[in-house]
Amino acid sequence: MVERIFSDILKLKLEELCTLVKMLEDRFPSNIAANISQSSNTSQNTVSNISRSISLIECGPNKIAVIKLIKDITGLGLLASKKLVDSLPQVIKDSVDDKEFSIIESKFTSLGCKVK
């Protein structure tokens, strides 16, 4: 069934695909989408040293770059990433090890953001 749905999605025109993405983003709040993404990543990658969450407290002066960074880190769409930035403070990523935490933290701080 999932493969059939995926096959049907591949047949959509770009405009139809954009409409579908917007409908999904509107239907599923950004926190739920992030949690689903995190659950999927955690179940596929068993990491023994998972202990931290990274939260974005303040956006800083370059909002567009922050939205793009959140999109890259979480896998969310642009609209969901923008909603996340507009409703700070928010958890960006759960269950990260110390190495990943420091990498993500440095990316945000280089944009002038405050993270915790």
Residue 68: the pLDDT is 92
Whole-angstrom distance, CA of residue 78 vs CA of residue 9 = 19
Nearest to 75 by CA among 109, 38, 105, 42: 38
Q: Are 95 and 53 in contact (CB under 8 A)?
A: yes
Tell me how long the chain is.
Answer: 116
Q: What is the pLDDT of residue 47?
A: 45
Give the model's pLDDT for residue 15: 83
Please tell me the distance from the alpha carbon of residue 28 to that of residue 22, in angstroms, as a whole number: 10
Give the three-class secondary structure for 8. Answer: helix
Per-residue pLDDT in tens (0 to 9) along the chain, 116 residues: 888 888 888 888 888 877 887 787 777 666 555 555 565 555 555 444 557 888 899 988 889 999 999 999 989 899 999 998 999 898 888 888 888 888 999 999 999 999 88
- Angle among Cα 82, 43, 104 to the nearest 5 degrees reads 40
- Which single residue is written with the structure tokens 């770059």? 65
Domains of the chain: 2-115 (3.30.1390.10)
